[in-house]
Copies of this chain bind each other. A is one copy, B any other.
Amino acid sequence: MNFDLVKTANNSRARAGLITTPHGKIETPVFMPVGTAGSVKGIHTRDLREDIKAEIILGNAYHLYLRPGIPILESAGGLHKFNTWDGPILTDSGGYQVFSLGEIRKISEEGTKFQSHIDGSYHLFTPEKVVDIQRSIGADIIMAFDECTPGDADFEYARKSLELTKRWLHRCFNRFTETEPLYGYNQSLFPIIQGSIYSELRKQATAHVKEFDADGYAIGGLSVGEKEEVMYEITETVASDLPGNKPRYLMGVGTPVNILESIDRGIDMFDCVIPTRNGRNGMLFTSEGVMNMRNKKWENDHSPIDENGTSFVDRYSKAYLRHLIISGEMLGAQIASHHNLAFYMWLVKTARNEIMEGDFKSWKNEMIKKLKTRL
C-alpha cells in the first residue's frame, strides 16, 4: 500500500491524497460504506461501484467470523471473491463490536471472551487471532485489535485500557510480521489510537503508534458519547501529531458535518453506518439540508428527492419515497440508503476538489450551514 499526499489546503489542515492498494486506488478524503456482514445493506456491489462510486468498503471481522465463518471465507478465496466487490476493502477488527456487547464480554490480558450475539456460543478474540481472521478475510487494510474505551471512562480506566491496547498492538504487529497474506496480495495493518477524551493519553497513544512504521493510522474511541467539541479537539490534537505522509482514519464518524469538520482537521478516511441506518429510518442527507421522509410535508411533493443528486435514485419523487417508507416497502430503505451513500461520496469528492482547486475553508463553512438545515 502506498499513500501520496497530493495537496494540503491553503488555509486548513485538509488534505487531498491518493492511496494505492492491491485492489485499486482511493482518492482521499474518502468515505467508506459499511458492509458489516459482507454486504452494504440494501445495495448491490454493481451499484456501489458504478452509481455510488464507492472506492473502498468496510467489512467487520467480528461479524464475518461468526457468520459465514472463516472456513467459508477461505474457501471462497477471501471476502472480495465472496461478495463480488473487487475494489479495496478494509476490515474493522471487532474491538468496537466486542465492546458493544457489554455484559456478555470479559476483557483480560490475553484477549476478550465474549458470547456470540447470534447463538450465545463462547469465543475468545486475542490480538493474534484477530490478525489471523483478517488474513483469512483478505482485506487490503486490516485493523489492530484494541479495547474501545467507553466514552464515560475516568482517567484511570482510560489509562489502563490504553496500556492494554498498546501491549495488544505489539502482539498484533508480531503476528502480522510472522504471517503471510493468503491470497497473493499484500495487506496493511493500521494501529488504532485510543485514550478516550484525555489529551495526555491521546498524545501518549499517538507517540506509541508512531513507533510502528504502519501504512496508516486510525483514531478510535471517538463518537462514543463524548461532546462533539471534544471529539473535534481530540481529532485535531492527534492528527497534528501524526506523520504527514500516512493516511489518517477517524473510525465510525459520522454525520456529514462531522466529516467536513474532521477533514478540516486533517483526517483522510471515514466510515459510518449513519447513511444506511438513518436511511432505513427515512432520514435523507442532501446538499440543501436534512429531510425526514416520514414528515407529512413530503406527502404531496412530487419533485425529485434531490435536484442536485448524482444518483439515479434521486429522480424518484419525495412523495413516492415517503409512501414507500411509511408503507414499510423495502424499496424505500434501498432508495434512502443508496441516496445517502451517493451523497456522502459526493461530499468527500467535492471536499477534495475544493482542497485541490478551490477554497476549502469557505466552501466548508457554507456547506455546514446548509447541512444543518432541516428541510
Give me the interface of A with B, judged by CB distance under 8 Å.
Answer: 37-44, 46, 67-68, 71-72, 75-77, 81-84, 299-300, 302, 312-313, 315-317, 319-320, 322-324, 326-327, 329-335
Q: Which residues does chain B contribute within 8 Å of A68, judged by CB atoms?
A: 299, 319, 322-323, 326
Q: Which of B37, B71, B315 contacts A84 (CB 8 A)?
A: B315
A302 pairs with B75, CB closer than 8 A:
yes
Q: Which of B71, B81, B300, B331 contacts A39 (CB 8 A)?
A: B331
Given contacts A39-B329, A67-B326, A330-B334, 11 further A-B contacts (CB under 8 A): A39-B331, A41-B329, A42-B331, A44-B335, A67-B323, A76-B302, A76-B317, A76-B320, A82-B317, A84-B320, A330-B330
Cα A311 to Cα B15 with chains together (Å): 41
CB distance from A280 to the nearest CB of B (A): 8
The 6 closest A-B pairs by CB, nearest first: A68-B323, A39-B331, A42-B330, A39-B329, A37-B327, A76-B302
Report which residue of A39, A83, A84, A324 has the largest number of chain B beta carbons within 10 angstroms of its beta carbon: A39
CB distance from A236 to the nearest CB of B (A): 37
Q: Which of B315, B319, B330, B335 contacts A76 (CB 8 A)?
A: B319
CB distance from A49 to the nearest CB of B (A): 11
A323 pairs with B46, CB closer than 8 A:
no
Question: Taking chain A's interface residues, is the majority helix, strand, or loop, or is none over half, making it mixed?
Answer: helix
Q: Which residues does chain B contribute within 8 Å of A46, judged by CB atoms?
A: 312
Q: Which of B83, B312, B313, B330 contacts A333 (CB 8 A)?
A: B330
Cα A333 to Cα B329 with chains together (Å): 12
B37 pairs with A329, CB closer than 8 A:
yes
Cα A71 to Cα B300 with chains together (Å): 9
A79 nearest in chain B by CB position: B320
Q: Which residues does chain B contribute within 8 Å of A335, judged by CB atoms?
A: 44
Cα A293 to Cα B312 with chains together (Å): 30
A83 pairs with B41, CB closer than 8 A:
no
A42 pairs with B319, CB closer than 8 A:
no
Cα A38 to Cα B332 with chains together (Å): 11
Report which residue of A67, A77, A331, A333 has the largest number of chain B beta carbons within 10 angstroms of its beta carbon: A331
A320 pairs with B42, CB closer than 8 A:
no
Q: Which residues does chain B contribute within 8 Å of A324, judged by CB atoms?
A: 37-39
Cα A7 to Cα B61 with chains together (Å): 58
- Supply 6 A–B pairs (Cβ within 8 Å), ascending by A: A37-B327, A39-B324, A39-B329, A42-B331, A72-B300, A72-B323
CB distance from A255 to the nearest CB of B (A): 23
Q: Which residues does chain B contribute within 8 Å of A44, judged by CB atoms?
A: 312-313, 331, 334-335
Cα A44 to Cα B44 with chains together (Å): 11
A330 nearest in chain B by CB position: B42
Cα A83 to Cα B322 with chains together (Å): 12
Q: Which residues does chain B contribute within 8 Å of A315, judged by CB atoms?
A: 84
A38 pairs with B334, CB closer than 8 A:
no
CB distance from A67 to the nearest CB of B (A): 5
B302 pairs with A81, CB closer than 8 A:
yes
Q: A46-B312, A299-B72 are in contact. Are A323 and B38 (CB under 8 A)?
A: yes
Q: Which residues does chain B contribute within 8 Å of A313, judged by CB atoms?
A: 44
Cα A82 to Cα B81 with chains together (Å): 38
Q: Which residues does chain B contribute within 8 Å of A327, judged by CB atoms?
A: 37, 67
CB distance from A154 to the nearest CB of B (A): 37
A75 nearest in chain B by CB position: B300
B82 pairs with A331, CB closer than 8 A:
no
CB distance from A212 to the nearest CB of B (A): 34
